[in-house]
Amino acid sequence: MLKVGDQLPEFVSVNQDGESVNSQDLLGKKLVIFFYPKANTPGCTAEACDLNDHFSKLKKEGFQLLGVSADPVKNQKKFHEKFGFQYPLLADENRDVIEKFGVWQLKKFMGKEFMGIVRTTFIFDENGICVRVIEKVKTKEAAKQILES
């Protein structure tokens, strides 16, 4: 998994509208990239909505936000429109970005083991250096956790 001090990985992916997003275009501002397992599920919705509810405060602090899951563009678009998110969501179906950040891991749930996205938030400075990793994301307090940095 990416750690504090690591450089923002180079990637090109697509957002909920099918538009290309290049990591190099995200440099110059503080950046929050949050990974979530699946659009429109309770925990992921709580996290994404909390970030949206506090978007103006995060923006005022100089943060730009980017959500990432392995959902297809169509699902990300529905999720984005349903809740009116003010930030983009990447549709990383082939898991290129997810794997570069190291959040595709073995998970356990109800006695079963499977590979999946571990809910994690990465904070980068203006130069693309990772300054904080939040591994124990509190879905209903995601913005507060970021602002504590």
81-91 residue pLDDT tens? 999 999 999 99
Residue 109 confidence (pLDDT): 84
Q: Is 130 a catalytic residue?
A: no
Residues of the chain with pLDDT under 70: 149
List the domains of the chain with CATH numbers.
Answer: 12-147 (3.40.30.10)
Cα torsion 122, 65, 114, 99: sign: negative
pLDDT digits (tens, 9 = 90+) for 1-18: 999 999 999 999 999 999
Closest CA to 86 of 42, 40, 53: 53
**Selected catalytic residue, list 44, 58, 68, 103:** 44
pTM confidence score? 0.96
Residue 149 confidence (pLDDT): 65
